[in-house]
Structure 1
Amino acid sequence: MSGGRLAGRYTLIRPLGSGGMGKVWLARDEMLDREVAVKELTLPEGLDEQGRAEAVARAVREAQATAQLRHPGVVALHDVIVEYGRPWLIMELLRGRTLGEAITQEGALPPATVARIGADVLEALTAAHSRGLQHRDVKPGNVFLTDSGRVVLTDFGIARQEGQATLTQAGLMIGSPGFIAPERLEGEAGGPPSDLWSLGATLFAAAEGVSAYEGTAMERIQATLTMPPRPPHRSGPLAPVLSAMMARHPAARPDPWSTVHALRQVAVGQSAPPLARQDPTVPGVIARPRSRRRWWLWLVPAGAVVVAGAVAAALVFSRGGTAAPTAFTLPVDMCGLLTPSQVGEVLGTGQPPKGVQSVADSDDRLGVSCDWTVSGRGVSVVAQRDSDTPQPWSMTTESARRLMESQRVWIGKYQELQWSWKEIGAKGPFTAKVSKAQPLQGVGEEGYTYELSAQGRVHTAVVMYRVANLVIQVEFTTLASRPTDDQVKRTALTVARQSEQALRSGG
């Protein structure tokens, strides 16, 4: 079919590869004059006309769900069309090789390299999970290493959106034997921990040069169901992380953000810290102290100075057992919500600073906060309150919702603001452009993000989210030019998730 044209726009040039879910073509987008990758999805055999129509509709829905992902670690989906009775996915063209090809060509890869790859993929997976989307086929062949150094998770063709049937449920095995989590092999739908297990098996193969389970497809399936993975011998400091990710029980696997943190530590040559379990009541992984990051920024109209400040107090919430908080009622030490090692990792220093606490009660700053700063970088968190409430933990859930909305609307009124943070060397005031607030899922009961930029680059990323009756604003600021905009945003988002985890676990 080379030379054929889809939708009067995409000219197929030559096949790039094929698999169980279809064939990938090199193509040219004639309208935008660029090369793209086109995936021709294969429908299950034996379907009648109605069955094919339903399968096509499901494939389109799944593609639409995937297209909502905007993450550097996920291959971008530009378009989806239906021609010749089947779906075609128009994707960005990646240049490089898959992790599977790298293993075949080089054998076992250095643990630090594998850890960096794993952290990048897990951040992408977590972004998908936050939108209710599971990948279900994480394996070396679906991890792409671009020539520019970007790590991309590909082939969401059998991804599953929560609550939906999928294209591959009509009699096909979902996933690749040896990389399918045991609970999925037992017929369960699985969830984010299942993708985590598959990523662990993928990283095992990369670090060891061989898969955790070998043999025929049926032998790999049987071994996954009945035997633990083979002990790693070449993985070095990565070994305990791999073992935790491939724990037999889903609840015994580590939570994603403590796993990302551990992988980042290994990637820079350090030992992995103990990992927090999804459910600490299930044995199998050593529970570590909960992450305690918090950062914040306050905005004021153009002409006034925006100063990132610090405030002191503390939070405790009412709960029963391990349930999520229903209300925050008592003060706690905000600066105790971050461990020194976490502060050091974010600020890039082996000697992390102590948090500075203060209470802000001016007209433009209301809340309780803690700041951690070094030259050129800072992180901060504030528990916000409205002008009618004496303390953040005195708000009701309804008043917290109103505060979230009023802050979002207020941010949208300003395209620029005056900004400074003298503790990191930004004495200013400086003019910063304010991005539009973007909805955020997966952090708190509700949330959104926005950024401050100057001279064409983002220097500050802010995350706002609500947990029960508490509104939290998290900020990460860097004056260095090296981090990319996406890296600045991801850092703030990572810290927001860790701060939420600390709040939910009682600090």
Structure 2
Amino acid sequence: MSSEGPYEPPEGALLLLNPGRKRLVLNRRGSTVWKVTTDLGPYAVKVGHPTRAHAWTALAPAREAAILRQLTHERIFSGEWEHGTWAAQPWRSGDSLYDRWASCRSGEAEPDLGEALSCALALSALHARGWAHGDVQPAHFLLGEPGGASLIDLALSSGGPVPCAYDFPYRGCLVHYEAPEISAGVLGSGTVTPAREADVYALGAALFISATGWRHVAYPDDASREEQRRAIVAGPHRPVRVPGPLGPLIRHMLSRSAADRPTGAEVCDRLGAVV
């Protein structure tokens, strides 16, 4: 078992990228992330390692790299190191959806429908390629760069081939954003398959918490993962009191039945009609 880090970019990454300055961005949940300068521009270097609770985090960087190579023509690098895998991808700048909507939670502003549309477009574009993200949450939408929101952290995505050496079962994501069918599947069998309908639910939950500061289902902050998932499956939803046309749309996205939810493209159409 490795320590909790942070870990420096491995030698293989340094040899390929020949980086200049580097800055530690994140160190948690089995991942150390650095922003580094390279001749190709700024890159995010993710260094994965196992944690006490999860071994899959060691494989996540290489799994994400394999997915990104199917979705982009950008130069993606990856490799193995002593405690797991590492990967490097072009850096995405911007504020997270949650940070961008801080003024909504304080009551100083209403949610920006254009920004909501930008997030929906990013997710819908991934769905149109046949993929489900599997880990939709406010922190994974970055707003600020020209061209709309960036959807990041695709390590749990499903929809195409992944090398067996770097693949691992999907055991859900951050429970605050799990759809009932995902939570029920994890409770029942331990593993499930990411789905586009669950992504739409998660986007609704992400928009709701970013606009209000509240999880869409109530449970104690110290509740176990199992308790959280039981609340997602059976607990009542908080009222969606989000002003304007976004409120009814979020309620529709949070439908308990996957078949009753709009598709990502339909979410874009509804938001596009009012922006």
Task: Assess same fold via TM > 0.5.
Answer: yes
Give aligned-pair identity as a percent: 24
Structure 1 residue 41 corresponds to structure 2 residue 45:
no
Residue 2 of structure 1 and its aligned partner are, at CA, apart by 4.8
Q: Deviations over 1:396-418 (max 9, x none)?
A: xxxxxxxxxxxxxxxxxxxxxxx
CA contact (8 A) 1:18 1:24 kept: yes
Q: 1:92 aligns with which of 85, 90, 94?
A: 90
The corresponding residue for 2:78 is 80
Q: 1:223 aligns with which of 231, 252, 255?
A: 231
From the superposition, tell whether residues 129 and 43 of structure 1 become closer, same or farther in structure 2 (CA, over 3 Å).
farther
Amino acid paired to 1:244:
H
Amino acid paired to 1:250:
A
CA contact (8 A) 1:59 1:167 kept: no
Amino acid paired to 2:199:
D
Structure 1 residue 195 corresponds to structure 2 residue 196:
no
Q: 1:152 aligns with which of 129, 150, 153?
A: 150
Residue 149 of structure 1 and its aligned partner are, at CA, apart by 7.2
From the superposition, tell whether residues 138 and 3 of structure 1 become closer, same or farther in structure 2 (CA, over 3 Å).
closer
The corresponding residue for 1:212 is 216
The corresponding residue for 1:22 is 31
> What's the secondary structure of 2:211's corresponding residue?
helix
The corresponding residue for 1:322 is none
The corresponding residue for 1:132 is 130
Q: Deviations over 1:86-117 (max 9, x none)?
A: 2222122233321233345762685551x323
Paired with 2:230 and 2:153, the residues of 1 have a C-alpha distance of 26
Q: 2:15 aligns with which of 8, 27, 32?
A: 8
Structure 1 residue 254 corresponds to structure 2 residue 262:
yes
Residue-pair matches, total: 252
Residue 22 of structure 1 and its aligned partner are, at CA, apart by 1.0
Q: Which runs of 5+ in 2 are unaligned?
A: 1-6, 186-191
Amino acid paired to 1:259:
V
CA contact (8 A) 1:62 1:161 kept: no
CA contact (8 A) 1:16 1:24 kept: yes
From the superposition, tell whether residues 117 and 85 of structure 1 become closer, same or farther in structure 2 (CA, over 3 Å).
same
Q: 1:122 aligns with which of 120, 123, 128?
A: 120
The corresponding residue for 2:189 is none
> What's the secondary structure of 2:117's corresponding residue?
helix
Amino acid paired to 1:107:
R
Q: 1:239 aligns with which of 237, 244, 247?
A: 247
From the superposition, tell whether residues 27 and 121 of structure 1 become closer, same or farther in structure 2 (CA, over 3 Å).
same
The corresponding residue for 1:316 is none
From the superposition, tell whether residues 66 and 111 of structure 1 become closer, same or farther in structure 2 (CA, over 3 Å).
farther
Q: Deviations over 1:188-244 (max 9, x none)?
A: 424110011000100111222322124334454232111342112233221110011
The corresponding residue for 2:184 is 186
Q: Deviations over 1:42-78 (max 9, x none)?
A: 346599xxx98xx74x86354222222249xxxx663
Q: Which has the larger radius of gyration?
A: 1
From the superposition, tell whether residues 77 and 123 of structure 1 become closer, same or farther in structure 2 (CA, over 3 Å).
farther
Aligned CA RMSD, in angstroms, stands at 3.2
CA contact (8 A) 2:216 2:237 kept: yes
- The higher relative CO (CA closer than 8 Å, separation ≥ 6) is in 2
From the superposition, tell whether residues 77 and 118 of structure 1 become closer, same or farther in structure 2 (CA, over 3 Å).
farther
CA contact (8 A) 2:65 2:76 kept: no
Paired with 2:270 and 2:130, the residues of 1 have a C-alpha distance of 24
Residue 156 of structure 1 and its aligned partner are, at CA, apart by 0.9
CA contact (8 A) 2:104 2:111 kept: no
Q: Deviations over 1:13-50 (max 9, x none)?
A: 23101332512101122xx2532111112346599xxx
Structure 1 residue 169 corresponds to structure 2 residue 176:
no
Paired with 2:268 and 2:110, the residues of 1 have a C-alpha distance of 14
CA contact (8 A) 1:183 1:190 kept: no
Amino acid paired to 1:222:
R
> What's the secondary structure of 1:134's corresponding residue?
coil
Paired with 1:148 and 1:108, the residues of 2 have a C-alpha distance of 27
Paired with 2:175 and 2:209, the residues of 1 have a C-alpha distance of 13
Give the helix-richer structure, 1 or 2: 2
Q: Which runs of 5+ in 1 are unaligned?
A: 269-507
Q: Deviations over 1:314-346 (max 9, x none)?
A: xxxxxxxxxxxxxxxxxxxxxxxxxxxxxxxxx
Paired with 2:53 and 2:207, the residues of 1 have a C-alpha distance of 36
